[in-house]
Amino acid sequence: MWKDFLSELRSKELVLSMCLFAFLVLIIFSFAFGTGLKSFKGIIPGILWVAFIFSGLLGLNRSFGVERDKGTLPGLLLCPVSPWEIFLAKMIGTLIFTVIMEIFTLLVFTILYNQNFLPFLLPLGLVILLGTLGFSIIGTIFSAMSSTTSTRDVMLSILVFPIYVPVIIAAVKATGLILDGTSIQTVYAWLKILVAFDLVFLLLAYLTFGFIMEE
Amino acid sequence: MSASKRVFKMTLEIITFLAMFAALYAIFLYAPVEKTMGLVQKIFYIHLPAAFLAFLGFFITFIASLLYLYKRDLKWDAAAFCSAEIGVIFCTIVLITGPIWAKPIWNVWWTWDPRLTTTLILWFVYIAYLMLRSVVKEHQRANFSAVFGIIGFVNVPITFLAIRLWRSIHPVLISSRGINISTPMKHTLALTFLAFCLLFFCLLKSRIRLEKTRMDTEMVSALVEEKFYSN
């Protein structure tokens, strides 16, 4: 089941393009807002998450898109594994690639905007991981759906964004609070929403993914 | 079909028609003009039932999607689709009447209140649902849309929670939204509720019939085509 991961890792194409895209998003933000803003601290979480989500979508499109393009999906389905395992493999693959991209984005952000994330690394990492997990879960479900359509890329965004709203809110808020240096107790409420979202959608994926994989 | 039978089949439509008229009468002539808000408050009688029916429509979509996945009967898929379509119509009515009412009363068209925001997100979810249906290939449509119908609905409470938490940290622009209504207003509201519910089921009924006819036509044309090409 790790063949996806291996083949992607060998080509490195996807991760590279995701990173590059995130880089560009950051640069565009600096042109859009200017770096001399007084309230710049307030928009950091926004910039970060917009970069994460847009670049993440890039990766999602590929997740099942490649299988459909090369016609390997039937082969995958013939393997003696359950749809749930296919889902997990795809989801974890997306998660890993997106996290790599996010680490890169944080590094670039540190350099470009002169922000130090080091003191907040642990809580920030937790929030990013939970947010990205939710993103990978719904993204993988919808990527499997949208990859069959002709308007794949647009369809994926239209499906993912409305469902992803609670995660965006919670993740952006939590990131902002962490960067403000507030205690973990205030962030806790947001973390709960992130965890709830992840669990609920993991369960839904478990229950419904078989239906999506039916040809 | 005899004329009396046809009239009988139309009972729902006829009652709806009468109820709508009664509701209009009640809204504009029976219900008193609200003291502080004035005439614009009358929009309330349309806004509230429409909101209720939008949620009802989406709820029916959710149930029908579940039933479809469980029973694998295309009938439920059609019901889910039709209900979502009508839900979107009522949701759009809510989103249009809301700002019209809000502008003179709250002095803004829109605020990021949890209820407003959730309704907007809900609207986006079901627009996505309808779009998904229009682009997916026939043999996968029912499965995909059922899954999306379920996911979209389950997401609503989480979204509402997140948005409420998000707002409660900032001062909320409009905090008290309670409306004291007099008895004639209550009567009017009950009547409009009834009329709108009837309208909802009327629309649902005819929409499902239309969808069924469409499915039948498709089947027939497929049969004809098969016959034509096999010879």
Enumerate residues 121 to 160 of chain B having a beta carbon within 8 A of any beta carbon in chain A: 121, 124-125, 127-128, 131-132, 135-137, 139-140, 143-144, 146-148, 150-152, 154-155, 158-159
Nearest alpha-carbon partner for B145 in B132, B155, B127: B132
**Angle at Cα A189 formed by Cα A188 and Cα A194, nearest 5°?**
90
3-state secondary structure of A215: coil
- Domain of residue A171 covers 3-213
CA distance A114 to chain B (A): 28
Residue B85 CA to residue B67 CA, distance in Å, equals 18
For B:198-217, CB contacts with A below 8 A are none
Provide, as residue numbers in chain A, all residues whose Cβ is less than 8 Å from the Cβ of B146.
211
A186 chain-B contacts, CB cut-off 8 A = none
> Are B159 and A201 an interchain contact pair (Cβ–Cβ within 8 Å)?
no
For residue range A143-169, list pLDDT tens digits in order: 888 887 777 778 888 888 888 888 888
**Measuring CA to CA, which residue among A152, A188, A139 is closest to residue A68?**
A152
In this model, does residue A195 exceed pLDDT 80? yes
**What's the pLDDT tens digit per position in B179-204?**
556 677 777 888 888 888 888 888 88
Per-residue burial over A89-116, b = 16 or more CB atoms within 10 Å of its CB, e = otherwise: bbbbbbbbbbbebbebbbebbeeeeeee
pLDDT at B175: 44
Task: Kindly identify which residue of chain A lies nearest to residue B65, measuring between CA atoms.
Answer: A208
pLDDT at residue A1 is higher than 70: no
The reported pLDDT for the residue numbered B67 is: 92
For testing the chain B interface, which of A163, A194, A195 should be mutated: the one with the most B CBs within 10 Å? Answer: A163
Note the pLDDT of residue B180: 56
Cα four-point dihedral sign A206, A187, A161, B76 = positive
**Residue B12 contacts residue B201 (beta carbons within 8 Å):** yes
- pLDDT over 60 at A172, yes or no: yes
Contact call for B147 and A145, based on CB within 8 A: yes
CA of A183, closest CA in chain B: separation in Å?
15
Q: How far is A170 from chain B (nearest CA, A)?
A: 7
B 54-73 residues inside an 8 A Cβ radius of A: 69
Confidence of residue A209 (pLDDT cuts 50, 70, 90): confident
So what's the pLDDT on residue B133?
87
DSSP state of A118: G
**pLDDT reported for residue B61:** 92
Min Cα distance B60 → chain A (Å) is 19
Sign of CA dihedral A102, A104, A107, A112: negative
Least confident of A4-18, A184-198, B169-183: B169-183
B-chain residues near A149 (CB < 8 A): 132, 135-137
Closest chain A residue by Cα to residue B120: A162
pLDDT value at residue A133: 92
Q: Band of the pLDDT at A9, cuts 50, 70, 90?
A: low
Measured between beta carbons, the chain A residues lying within 8 angstroms of B144 are 145, 148, 212
Give residue A187's pLDDT band: very low, low, confident or very high (50, 70, 90): confident
Question: By the CB < 8 Å criterion, does B48 face chain A?
Answer: no
A8, A25, A47, A97, B59 from A14: Cα distances, Å = 7, 16, 22, 8, 39
What letter does residue B1 receive in the DSSP assignment? -
* Contact between residue B174 and residue B113 where contact means Cβ atoms under 8 Å apart: yes
Cβ B140–A196 below 8 Å, yes or no?
no
Chain segment A94-124, per-residue pLDDT in tens: 888 888 889 988 888 888 877 777 777 788 8
A154 vs A158: CA distance, rounded Å? 6
Q: Which of A162, A193, A212 sits opposite B143 (nearest CB)?
A: A212
Mean of the pLDDT values across residues A195-212?
Answer: 87
Number of separate domains in chain A? 1
ipTM of the shown complex: 0.81
Q: Give the CB-side neighbour count of residue A213, counting CA atoms within 13 A.
A: 24
Q: Can you list the residues of chain B whose pLDDT is less than 70? A: 1-3, 8, 34-37, 167-182, 231
Structural tokens at position A22: 């995130």
Q: Residue B145 corresponds to which tokens in the numbers above?
A: 């849309």
Q: Which two tokens stand for residue B41?
A: 């408050």
Where does residue A144 rank: exposed (0-12), middle (13-18), buried (19+ CB within 10 A)? buried
Residue A67: pLDDT over 80: no
Distance from CA of B140 to the nearest CA of A (A): 7
CB-nearest partner of A193 from B135, B161, B169: B161
Summarised one tens digit per residue, pLDDT across range A22-39 is 888 888 888 887 666 666
| Cβ–Cβ gap B162/A204 under 8 Å | no
State pTM to two decimals.
0.82
Q: What is the pLDDT of residue B176?
A: 47
Q: Share the mean pLDDT of chain A.
A: 81
Residue B62 confidence (pLDDT): 92
